[in-house]
Structure 1
Amino acid sequence: MMEPARNGVDERELFSSGPVVVFKWKNAPGWPVEYASRNVEDVFGYSAEDFLAGKVRYAERIHPDDLERVAGEVAAASASSADEFTHKPYRVRRADGETIWLYDHTHILRDPVSGEPTHYHGYVIDITARVQAEETNRSLREQLLRTQKLESLGLLAGGLAHDFNNILMGILGHANVARHALEKQEAPDPTLLEACEQIEALSRQAGDFCKQLLAYSGQGRLERRPLDLGELVRETAAMLGVALPKAARLELELADSVPPVEGDRVQLQQVLMNLVTNAAEALRRGKGTVRIAVDRVELSLADTEGLVLGSAGLEPGPAVRLCVEDDGVGMNAETRARLFDPFFSTKFTGRGLGLAAVLGIVRSHGGGLRVDSRPGAGTRFSLYFPPAGATPAPVAVPRPPELRADGGRVLVVDDEPVVRRVARSMLEILGFEVLEAVDGEEALGFLAGACDDLRLVVLDATMPGLSGLEVLERLRERCPELPVVLNSGFNEAGFEVLAGCEGPVHFLQKPYTLEELSAVLDELLGPAPSASAEEE
């Protein structure tokens, strides 16, 4: 530490410019300044005369959030036997209102008799640039860690979705086959029939959830088409009701003549489910009302600027609004500010991804989102989507599967026994004779010199060892025109190679039903007369 000259000025004149400002403060309330180097104005925006005349007190320039800590550090050092100390960096406000960060090293001048501090003599350095650089580096490190975490979660989600889809293939497939058998009876048991239908419906919902996991992992594919949001709400109402407590009510207010939006049905259903689940958790003791409304509105420029995180792609003008509102506990400003942060949740059992996923889906659809809430007054999520130009296409209803008179032998290749059993049952219902292979090597053994004996191959794309795509490539060398149904728990988006594949091939994602398999076979093999028609 530089020793002050006798008059306390000479050596400090060295600091007449640059970032280092020398001060001498009196140990009195507000720390009156008795000396300040001439360059103080460059750092603080106030002249040395402003400080010396008492127009500006040093303590008044310290940021209010840091003042108590700085004063505590001064008091602690003064009460000790220390001759000097260094503050933790703190903020001060310049004359122009800008906030800067300072490094402060101070020497304590004590009364030679009592030992009590009389003055503080030290220097401060503007370290704002360094603090900002450290904050930028910290933010980049956090962003990198968050990205790595999301990538890891994405890989995990994709793997779970694939494995879960294989399980769902067994559940949905067996229920589907059982329902088909019941419907063939003259007087099917209505209780069993309804049970099968419910198992199928719930399996499809679980399958939709797997599609969300695949989309989250980057292995899913958006299927955008014109959608009627009101109709989507009606179709999803039963599933939404399951998310509500028994004492809660679900109200729908769906306006007429609302234009369609361009969207992915599964993702928008997931948005509805996430918002209704969030609303249900906000109800007081599980009692209250959740309202879903769909209407057409006109957005002004101010409306679009007031949306969460801006309104990328959403212009002022006509929009389709989807509202999910509850009369629950509401949220304070702090909660609203973090509402869409990944992994943030106010619920002990919450996953913290639901609303972050909602925001991501809305923005990917070119829409915007607004949240209105206050404690005790409930919450309203308003989602805005640009209207689509086309009319929603009717949902295709597959024709009932029938026994095919042309039949033939089919090879089913899958490493999952439950998938092979379900596929066998479905194909036998359709009139085929079924052979099974547990992996790619066994499948190629069947195919050696036997292409003419096979009508079709149902091939799993992601088997261990020799993958389905490798089997398909070798199969094409031996049987170039043999039809192949390639299936997987992953989405077709991961199999772009099929676009350039020679020979008849069709992708079918697991889990699938007898009706869906029958429709694919009609495309690959051509519509065939049913066995009943042949008998006539």
Structure 2
Amino acid sequence: MDNPNSFLALPKLEVLIDRTPLIVTPDTSIVDAIALMSQTQGSSCVLIVREANLIGIFTERDALKAVASQIDLRMAIAQVMTSSLITQVLEREQTIFTVLSTLQQHKISHLPILNETGNLIGLVTPTRLLQAIAIADVPEATIQECSAELSHLNAQIKQEIKKHRQTESEIADFIENAVVPLHWVAEDSTIIWANQAELDLLGYTKEEYIGQPIAKFHVDSEILSDILQRLATHQPVKGYEARLRCKDGSIRHALIDSNTFWKDGKFIHTRCFTRDISERKQAEESLRESEQKFRAIFDGTFQFIGLLTTEGIVIEANLTALNSIGAKRSEIIGRPFWETPWWTHSPQLQEQLKKGIIRAAAGELVRFEAEHFLVDGTSIFVDFSLKPVFDEAGKVVMLIPEGRDISERQAALRERKQAEIVFKKTLKSLEFQKSALDRAAIVAITDRYGVITYVNEQFCQISQYSKEELLGKTHRIINSGYHPLEFFQNLWTTIASGQVWQGEIKNRAKDGSFYWVATTIVPFLDDRGIPFQYLAIRFDISNLKQAEQKIGEQAALLDVSSDGIMVRDLENRIQFWNKGAEKIYGWRATEAIGKNVTTLLYRETLPEVEEALKTVRDRGEWQGELHKVTKTGKQVIVESRWTLVRDEANNPKAILIVDTDITEKQLLEKQFLRAQRLESLGTLASGIAHDMNNILTPILAITQLLPLKMPHLDDRTQRLLEMLGENAKRGSDLVKQILFFARGADGQRILIQVGHILAEVASVARQTFPKSINLVLNFPTSNLWMVAADATQLHQVLMNLVINARDAMPDGGTLNIAAENVIVDENYAQLHIDARVGAYVVVTISDTGIGISPENLERIFEPFFTTKELGQGTGLGLSTVLGIVKSHQGFINVYSEVNRGTCFKIYLPARESIDRLQSAENLERFTGKGELILVVDDEVSVREITKASLETYNYRAMTASDGAEAIALYEQHQSEIAVVLLDLMMPSLDSATIINVLQKINSQVKIIAMSGLVSNGEVAKASSKGVCEFLAKPFTIQELLQALLRIKSKLD
């Protein structure tokens, strides 16, 4: 073309420039750039601009190369862009053909146009040039002139368009099937498109995913909200971490890259690129846990440890090291190791450390000992080392400083050196001692296996073996076979652990004779504390053992005696205590020997004891009665005989005491004396009654005669006579009461049913007694045996007792009235002086009142004795009761405890036919089959009689005098004991505690409770604790056997 002016009709180049090309920043990802081109009609490239300066171009051809090379499409576009740009600066004289020439010359399809300052104006492409030529008003001749060039250029452009369309198709297919998850989100936050990788990541189909709100798939709504807000303000999102919800409910961690696509100022959609980082998160969590474990081990070790650079700069230090100098990690990190407080106290150590770091940096393990000062001012010795750490190429990359506290080891070494000095000094002393020991003791040395390596002459003499026969052997050569295997196992366990063993051993000499030795075995320990040999030192104690055997035989003979035999030294310490003493006082020999006899057997120092001591020292012997206490605190009366024991020089050495328990004998004597006293009082009362009747008879007669002789007496005189007559009658009634006490005055005796009289008494009590008194009745009205009695007198007895019970409960309480049929057997009859074998009806009247003190209980039946206030009682009530009951051949038992109440039991003989019938009852059906019964009672007489009764009827029995002994016996024999017979009123341990402990030992334990003073409430309380049966004292053997039979029947 020779005439360029022929193209003046063509449009200006400025008009053909695309001034809104696709522009991205250098950090835009490749996949975002490809997506941008695919979503923009007619766009085949993007320009990369930084701060308005064009730095590169990314074309469809570049995109195809990136896909084909399988590079990570998440990398920044600046890494793959075409940076050798062909650009054109806009000038006035330039024409379309100038640009076409540039495109053809460089064989490019995109030409960025810049202004004079180098800033981007826009983009020119062949397609846009051809469109401009096609619509321009250019003469045909002009077109023909450049047809050759245009034809060639047109063909080239068509080829480029074809390639462009093909590239667009390939890019679209790539995006759809890309391995990178992608999705587009509309302005209303719904998903409008997603590729297969996105669907596979979350497990949804296109139908389930596209069209859904994006929030449905985000776990953290606040993160999604933040992403959407940033995109709305044209801010791109890079690497935003989110948690996505999969179809199966699982959660995946992802990084979100997102930007918005706008066209002509209008929001089109948001493009989102999802990177699955679930595995990375899991790896990060594992790494975090590993770091925690490393830090726990690193900081938790007792050793000092850290990390240094090869130049000796501190990288890390553990807490143990930091705490030792009271420093923080920030104060140490980055400093030269030798300038830290661990080393600054010693310039010499600092120099040694510097040299050590140089050697370690060269690959050498460095180790030396150093003294360091702690934050509290104390010092320790440390075994210090520097260990080099090598990389794969064998180069030292860091150093590990490590310190181990060896202060104890250093101290031990110093002590050992000191000990060696002491050992050398004492060695000579030991040689002298050995010589002396060889002369006095039996000595042997063995190795760690027990093989004899040395014996002295004393060993040979007593064993009758020569040294040659003993050396190289073990001590089995003198084993007598007397001791069990466990004895020697214990011996070896003790000495093998480095401890000294002491004991007595029976050995056998060569001739078969036996001898006893007191043995001490001392182990010798090596540096590790392990025995390497044993020294055995023995002394012959054969004579002593023979003496002990003789004493034991003599003690066995003493134990046969039922008397309590003891020996006390002159300082009151018990030296000997036989079985008889154990039975009387409850203390076992092991508990009594060595104790002070005064504190053990007396509540206080008695004048009688002091007198006995003085007498036995002066005369050599003493005999008399003493009151002592048992282990349970019960008082016993003993006939005591004391003999002074002298030594070989005839000096007083000890006192031999023989005690005979006469408590039961004294009790019977007391009952007898009391009966005699009451009989004497009865005789006196009879005489008084006789004289009083003689005095009252004329007085009463005169009061009746005077009104007849003197009919005109005034009213006042008549009232005086009436008053005199009434008092005479009262005196007469008093005389009758005295006679009731004295001889149980005669009355009409008929067969009566006691239950009916009890019902009448109960009715009166219920109507007249305060409401605060609860009346409890327990008697049949028809099944009780008949008794021959005066109904009026019996009514008087019962009313007297219930009124006394009422008066004993001023604040209210419970009054129990009961009756039952009882057979009194020989065993029970022995316990009461007035009891006879036979049938009885027993009436029980008990209260929960103030009770009667022991000193008053002995006097309640004496006439005129009363504890009531003046005018409230004559003191004849109970004496009259006793007289009436005795006149009916009955007897009374009384039980009382202060503040707990009183129980009266009136025994009335049943009629003779019933007596014979019941006495003849065959008790064989109650006979036992050898069952073992544990009898627990603090009363010796009750224990022994009950035991004898049980054994009579083919039961076995063992006894316990207190709760502690009962528990010990039951624990030892629980498999044999069938039933426990337990007194509810026990000293020391109360019955409730005993029952609880027995039930803990055996929850199925069978218990029969017994007591002489029990209310219904106490019976219920005992039953609630697991008591099977209850017996009211005194009980007959038949009642006991029946209770045992009922328990056996329940078990069967």
Shorter chain as denominator, the TM-score bin is 0.3 to 0.5
TM-score (norm 2): 0.23
Structure label with greater radius of gyration: 2
TM-score (norm 1): 0.39
